Structure 1
């Protein structure tokens, strides 16, 4: 389970938030689908994927077999599968690692 040192807070109403624009050029979206997507992803990241609901997202880490962290990512359910947002500079290396285990990744 991910540890975040921030105290829990109630979200602000979007009407009270200032308009913020930012570029997402440094970020990438990856998806995983298929019958065993949940089971597979559960074995690859540090978050409890089975507890993920359609209206939530989880901060997770993808680690190698020795426990060294490859990357951190934000995981959520999408179109009957799962998706995650991560730094674009890490995506290709991470997908190469995940594809070693033969699942449908994009």
Structure 2
């Protein structure tokens, strides 16, 4: 079962202070997922480090296609793909679509 999440989830995960790369969803952050069975987005520690390094060097918006697996109400993200961009500015990004196997965008 694959679900699309918002970039807000990625932002929440990147800003989390958890040592294991997990970010519990707050009521505001989970509003979009409220009607879906997925309640947790777990990033592997190595992916969390890679995303943190990437985010530290960004000066514009990007889109990441998060890859991994779903078990019960938890999506475990192990990798990401940055899709080709049609356009990218400081506050807007227009990407090519992610593959159907993508867990979250």
Bucket of the pairwise TM-score, normalised by the shorter protein: under 0.3
Give 1 or 2: higher strand fraction. Answer: 1
- Give the TM-score taking structure 1 as reference length: 0.27
